[in-house]
Amino acid sequence: MGGTFKGAKAGTAPAYSFSAYVSHVKVDLETGFVDVKKVWAAFDCGRALNPLAVEGQIEGSIHMGLGQLLSESMDYRGARLMNPSLLEYKILAPQQMPEVECLLVG
């Protein structure tokens, strides 16, 4: 495996896992505001040597995904990026993170 692309010498992903996510979401039909109340995540990663770290990775991926979905955007005007720093770029704040329940299978 590998190739000539940048990073090819590092190799491809050596492992795969399966997961499923379910979310409880409230949507205001008048304003279109989306409020994610709770996320359930089931993850089959085999035997978790450090379950707390695995749950942290799962919660972090949920936080990043919700941020991309709900608030993050790159605002370009022509070739100029209008929100180049964290002062203008809206990321999901920790207090906006919904309750997450993780189930490690395996």
Is-contact 76 64, C-beta < 8 A?
Answer: no
SS3 65: helix
29 to 26, 33, 35: CA distances (angstroms): 9, 8, 12
Per-residue pLDDT of the chain (106 residues; tens, 9 = 90+): 556 766 666 666 666 678 999 999 999 999 999 999 999 999 998 899 999 999 999 999 999 999 998 888 888 999 999 988 888 888 888 899 999 999 999 8
Q: What pLDDT, on a 0 to 100 scale, did the predictor assign at position 79? A: 92
pLDDT value of residue 40: 98
C-alpha closest to that of 71 among 87, 40, 99, 93? 93
What is the pTM (predicted TM-score) of this model?
0.76
CATH domain 15-105 topology: Aldehyde Oxidoreductase; domain 4 (3.30.365)
Predicted pLDDT at 89: 82
| Confidence at residue 24, expressed as pLDDT on a 0 to 100 scale | 98
